[in-house]
Structure 1
Amino acid sequence: MTGAGQGIGRAIAEALHAEGAKVIVLDRDADRAGEVAEAINGLALDCDVTDPEAFHDVLERAHAWRGRVDILVSNAGMARGEPNGAVSAEEAHWQQSFDLHVMAHLRAARTLLPDMVARDEGALVNVASAAGLLTQIGDAAYSASKHAAVSLAQSLAIEHGNDGVYVGVVCPLYVATPLIGYGDGDAPAHDRVITADEVALAVVAGIKEERFLILPHPEAGDFFRMRANDPEGWIAAMRRLRGRVMEDGPTDIAALHRKI
């Protein structure tokens, strides 16, 4: 379980523990990983998942803990926003977004898939975002990398579904986590925002039902179909929305969700 020291990752780790799973809590913050692992009697590992060699080594340690990894939940992520439109963010921001939201998923699957395929069982669950189905206003790098994460999950599902490996992708809208300015346990500011615990329950249900597309906000599916059925109308509506939320100028992701 990557990115499990807080937010959605912590909630999923706790929910899997409640289902009887032995959870490996992986986070780049060793103290947070240790705190969560202690609470659920799991194993704490710290690593920056954008470091290929370090991530491979820590996944090998995770596999050795109990001799197998049955479920990988690849959750680590970030969102910074952009200063002034899609081309204004630095290339380093774009590269980090793809390293974290796409390559980390790929590297984890590359390390763990061979054993899952050999055993004819296993699960890969990538936590993406509704931005991977739609578009996040104010962070083009986030949206593009989350679209790529959804596409990668589709490819893994197509290629390995007949190998006994279940693949799912989680695409929530706004969640009350530090990513958008909430502290763990803070109540959502409005009804468009759900808690990390609600996301975790949706993930557990999705894994049990072996659903590819896990939507903690069901309305994200309606928006996705609207976009597919009328892309021109969707773009026009999003332009109007962007004009409304950006009328005071560029804003950060934490403030943006309160305007949408």
Structure 2
Amino acid sequence: MNAFTGQGAVVTGAGHGIGAALATALAAAGARVVVNDLDADAAREVAESVGGVAVPGDAATEEGVADLVAAARHALGTIDLYCANAGVGPSGGPDADPKVWELCWDVNVLAHVRASRLLLPDWLERGRGRFLSTVSAAGMLTMLGSAPYSVTKHAALAYAEWLSATYRHRGIKVHALCPQGVRTRMLDSTGEAGKVLLTPTAIEPAQVAEAALDAMAADRFLILPHPEVADYYAARATTPDRWLDGMSRLQQAIDSREESA
């Protein structure tokens, strides 16, 4: 028996990419899985493939999160693990449309807040529960070309840290999953920035899921499928100007590629 046998797990954004890989890996490890995605057909397809239950819908809005949690409890009895995996990564800077910023806050941050608000009372009463936040290495570093994504992923990491610091002594396990490039549809949409920063070291979603399950089984907070991110994070913290100079050079390389395209 492993840490996930018989556990009731919810995975948002599980119709594709990392979410689908998490659902698949959890089911293979013996968990009972609820598959959530805005893409109803994709959610049903993944759920059928893993022997889980599809609950399509919006995992970001107040109403959508409430409906998902209620449906998952009905299907599973109890929710032992909630994977807040759904995310959006539009491009843009301060000029991005306010609606783009609002969407990023809703999906990348407030979805986690809204889910934990509903999950924590039961978990605290039982003295156990597990919350996985798919953050991205952008939450530890930055993502050139997308201020909304970078800012909200930093906030997602901050919220996961806060949850862990506040509730870990009461049996709540929190994990921040921070991969760099992953071969998904989101990577395909990142343009030249993605080609420079992410594509060269991109890994498969299944590798991310494997790292996530290993880290959760060991109760590790920070999950780095790309181990080199730890070195980048340390450089950012200890030599910030040098790190920013390096990021600026990467931005210049991106600019040059875009100009020559």
Pick the structure with more helix per residue.
2
Give the TM-score normalised by the residue count of structure 2.
0.90
Does structure 1 conserve the Cα–Cα contact (< 8 Å) formed by 2:36 and 2:59?
no
Aligned to 1:185: none
Gapped regions of structure 2 (runs ≥ 5): 1-10, 190-197
**Among candidates 52, 65, 69, match of residue 62 of structure 2:** 52
Aligned to 2:118: 111
**Hey, what's the Cα distance between the residues in 1 that align with 2:127 and 2:84?**
20
In the TM superposition, 1:38-117 aligns within 5 A as 38-82=48-92, 86-117=93-124
CA contact (8 A) 1:71 1:122 kept: yes
Q: Percent identity between the aligned chains?
A: 39
Counterpart Cα distance in 1 of 2:117 and 2:253: 43
Aligned pairs, number: 243
Distance in 1 (alpha carbons) for counterparts of 2:259 and 2:208: 29
Match of 1:258 in 2: none
Match in the other structure for 2:127: 120
Using the TM superposition, give the Cα deviation of residue 191 of structure 1 relative to its aligned residue in structure 2, in angstroms.
Answer: 4.6
Q: Which runs of 5+ in 1 are unaligned?
A: 183-188, 256-260
1:5–1:29 Cα contact (<8 Å) kept: yes
Higher RCO (Cα < 8 Å, 6 or more apart)? 1
Q: Distance in 2 between matches of 1:4 and 1:54?
A: 15
Cα displacement string for residues 8-57 of structure 1 (whole angstroms, at most 9, x for unaligned residues):
00001000011000000011111101000011110100111232112212
Match status 1:133 vs 2:140 = yes
Q: Secondary structure at the match of 2:32?
A: coil
Aligned pair 1:170/2:177, yes or no?
Answer: yes
Q: Deviations over 1:150-191 (max 9, x none)?
A: 000000001110111100000000000011128xxxxxx965
Pairwise CA RMSD of aligned residues? 1.7
- Which of 6, 15, 30 is equivalent to 1:20? 30
Runs ≥4 in structure 1, deviation > 3 angstroms? 248-251
Q: Could you say which residue in structure 2 is the equivalent of 1:186?
A: none
Q: CA deviation at 1:58?
A: 1.8
Q: Displacement, 1:64?
A: 1.9
Matched, 1:152 2:159: yes
* 1:207 counterpart = 2:216: yes
CA shift for structure 1 position 248: 3.8
Structure 1 residue aligned with 2:201: 192
Aligned equivalents of 1:57, 1:4: Cα separation in 2: 16
| TM-score normalised by structure 1 residue count | 0.90
Asked if 1:222 corresponds to 2:236, the answer is: no
Contact kept? 1:97, 1:142, Cα under 8 Å: yes
* Counterpart Cα distance in 1 of 2:228 and 2:98: 33
Give the whole-Å Cα distance in 2 for the aligned partners of 1:97 and 1:247: 28
